[in-house]
Amino acid sequence: MSREPAGCGTPAAYARHRYYGEEICDKCRAAWNAQCTADRPRSAKPWRRLPPEPAPVVLTPREAAVLAAHRAGDLVLGGWER
Ligand SMILES: [Zn+2]
């Protein structure tokens, strides 16, 4: 299927100019810039302090062994009611 290429003054035409290595006309460049400005969030906060990480859960060796067995499928917690 063939269709009409987007006319100049649209972001699609800007992309087409770029794709084919053509000279980018002012109308297309303006349309592209307008689109970039519209897409940008109103208040960009690129650097934000991350919340502190929660303290890690420290298991006793016995708890760790039970958890490992559970994850390996050797120990199923619950399920006896079925
Ligand atoms: Zn153009």
Q: What is the pLDDT of residues 69-78, one digit of tens each?
A: 888 887 766 7
Q: Ligand 1 centroid vs 39 CA: distance in angstroms?
A: 20
pLDDT of residue 77: 64
Cα(58) to ligand 1 centroid in Å equals 62
Cα(17) to centroid(ligand 1), Å: 7
pLDDT tens readout for residues 2-34: 788 888 999 999 999 999 999 999 999 999 999
**Spatial distance between the Cα atoms of 60 and 58, rounded to a whole number of angstroms:** 7
- The DSSP result for 9-48, as a single string, is TSHHHHHHHHHTTPPPPHHHHHHHHHHHHHHS-SS-----
Percent of the chain whose predicted confidence (pLDDT) is above 70: 89
Q: Quick one: pLDDT at residue 2?
A: 74
Question: What is the 10 CA–ligand 1 centroid distance (Å)?
Answer: 8
Distance 73 CA to ligand 1 centre (A): 62
Instruction: Please identify which residue in the block is written with the tokens 């650097």.
Output: 47
The model's pTM is 0.47
